Amino acid sequence: MILMTPEDQYDPTHAFAVLNRYEPYVKEAIDLVKETGAIVKVKGGSDRRIPGRGFHVSDKFLSVISGKLPDRMFSQAVNFYKKFKEIMIFDQFANSGDMACILDLLSAGKVALSFANPDAPILTKNIVPSHRSRKIDVANLNFDVSLTPNISSSITNTEIDDSESSKNNSIYGQKRKRSDDINSVFNHKRKRGEHYITEENNISNDKGKCENNTVQEKNTSAFKKGHFDSKQFLNTRKEASKVLKLLLESLDQEFKRDVKDVYYIIENRDKVGIPLVSLKKYPKLSEENLLRCINILETNHPSLIIKVGYNASRYVSSIYSKDWFVNTTQTTANKFKKQRTEKVNIEEKSSSHNVELSDESKTESVETFAPPRMWYDINGNFIESVFRGCLEAVLGLILQNPGICEADIYRKLSLVMSRCEIQDVLEELLDRKGIRRKSFIQPPKVTLFSKPAEFKECDFDSLDSNKITYYWVNEHYYLKCVPEIIN
């Protein structure tokens, strides 16, 4: 969070105050990331040193997160998609983004290739690798290729405009401020693809075959939410009990007992919480009912449970949620973030009238928290450019390795992202319908007398510990990162 903070927003005094709360773990964390090669200590060289920070991300870190795809390929593909409105001649010097967009449109049947001049003579005989030695005119081997948009598919800029406008309303699409309303940021749930419904997603339903149809609303990590203050948390068991009682009164009789049991199982685990796979061992519920109970508790206003974690996701009661977030309360000159101005009326005992004083400013300290994610700076603000880089890194890896599983994604990107960060990025790409997935149950190890190993397809919400999920990119994947459009 410190190294990702923009230089003009970095306050070393505030950074020290934030880290000082976690002093026992700071040295251990620094040694760990230095050992993996993610950061390096900057010695001299004023051109590389960041004021107030003695460490910097390493070239190895930058190399891993930038991936193997050509630089700016996604933004170039978006630019080509935006300007491809009518018939055009293929440019022999097209960049990598143009080629990625053309190949994507070609595979989707949205563009047709044809000779720009069918009547032009084209040499079709005596073409050998050493044609130059045979004094064949090279011009006869070159011809223009015409790119024609498919009329039924109608390439337009509607998808770009829709994704850009919805970008401002999505979880990651805007810079989070400390005053964000928790009801609209922390507790607001979305159905998959709500903010990124684009025209190409409705063209073919074949892309959705890898995801089982379900009307169940998906649970998202609390670490994917924006910035919020401590007043939006449930701070005591008494508060949580009141909220739970109101929730149970609004539920059908068949769910009341199940929801109550699930909540108290999670609450009894205190700050540690419990993984979803372990949770299914306690209540005698089917997976479907257990997921429904989790969804009810998580989507309540305010949330009774929260999905948290760094190396492994788990659920905790919201009264312990602050233990999983970084306290970014300002302790410098900007300590008092919230100011309230009110008129103070003082009644004098010695007189019969009230003396109204002039407006007096009163300040109160408000604790603020931010998720420990790479795309949040030390001030708790969301960094859109960093998150977009993470999206492109994961999307590029899936593009290069179709059918890659989450474990392999983590193995390749473990230097730059934690497992839960990768899960958050994958969930966001699924929300934007940039990727699709398919889940299988891994068979047990083959023994001498065992039956042949056979993978069985399962629902992606399955709680089986042997479940493996594989990912593929969807068509128009380059539109899902929504990079800046370069004219």
Output the pLDDT for position 126: 54
Q: Are 56 and 7 in contact (CB under 8 A)?
A: no
Domain that holds residue 42: 7-66
CATH number at residue 285: 1.10.10
- For tokens 């039924």, the residue is 152
Residue 332 has φ and ψ, to the nearest 5°, of -100, -150
C-alpha dist (Å) from residue 16 to 26, 52, 221, 334, 440: 11, 10, 28, 15, 46
Output the pLDDT for position 244: 92
Q: Are 125 and 141 in contact (CB under 8 A)?
A: no
- Burial code of 257-269, b = ≥16 C-beta within 10 A, e = fewer? ebbbebbebbbeb
Residues whose CB falls within 8 Å of the CB of residue 26, separated by 6 or more in sequence, listed in order: 19
3-state SS assignment for residue 363: strand
Q: Are 10 and 389 in contact (CB under 8 A)?
A: no
Please identify, among 329, 345, 374, the residue that sits at the C-terminal boundary of a domain: 329
421: nearest Cα among 172, 223, 164, 173: 223
Give the integer Cα–Cα distance in Å for 313 and 269. Answer: 14
Output the pLDDT for position 128: 57
Output the pLDDT for position 169: 41
| Number of structural domains found in the chain | 2
In single-letter form, the type of residue at position 444 comes to P
Q: Is 403 left (phi over 0), alpha (psi -120 to 50) or beta?
A: left
3-state SS assignment for residue 428: helix
Helix ranges restricted to H, 286-440:
287-299, 384-400, 406-413, 419-431
318: nearest Cα among 243, 374, 245, 220: 243
**Is 240 a domain residue?**
yes
Give the integer Cα–Cα distance in Å for 416 and 142. Answer: 45
Give the integer Cα–Cα distance in Å for 325 and 302. Answer: 17
**Is 104 a domain residue?**
no
**Is 302 a domain residue?**
yes
Residue 96 has φ and ψ, to the nearest 5°, of -65, -35
**Is 320 a domain residue?**
yes
Please identify, among 16, 39, 66, the residue that sits at the C-terminal boundary of a domain: 66
- Number of Cβ within a 10 Å radius of residue 279: 21
DSSP secondary structure of 47-72: TTPBTTBSEEE-HHHHHHHH-SSPTT
**Is 368 a domain residue?**
no
Preceding omega of 302 cis (within 30 degrees of 0)? yes
Output the pLDDT for position 443: 85
**Is 255 a domain residue?**
yes
- Number of Cβ within a 10 Å radius of residue 344: 11
Output the pLDDT for position 194: 40
**Is 254 a domain residue?**
yes
3-state SS assignment for residue 426: helix
C-alpha dist (Å) from residue 154 to 78, 89, 149, 158: 16, 18, 7, 10
Output the pLDDT for position 485: 42
Give the integer Cα–Cα distance in Å for 234 and 305. Answer: 10
Output the pLDDT for position 214: 35
Residue 71 exposed, middle or buried by CB count within 10 Å (0-12, 13-18, 19+): exposed
Output the pLDDT for position 159: 53
202 membership: H or E segment, kind and range = none
Q: Are 200 and 481 in contact (CB under 8 A)?
A: no
Q: Are 82 and 127 in contact (CB under 8 A)?
A: no
218: nearest Cα among 461, 481, 432: 461
Query: What are the residue ranges in the chain where pLDDT is below 50?
Result: 47-50, 157-158, 161, 164-229, 332-365, 483-487
Written as six digits, the tokens of 327 are 């306290």
Output the pLDDT for position 12: 81
Written as six digits, the tokens of 390 are 């993470």
Please identify, among 23, 47, 66, the residue that sits at the C-terminal boundary of a domain: 66
**Is 42 a domain residue?**
yes
Q: Residue 116, CB half-sphere, CA atoms under 13 Å: how many? A: 11
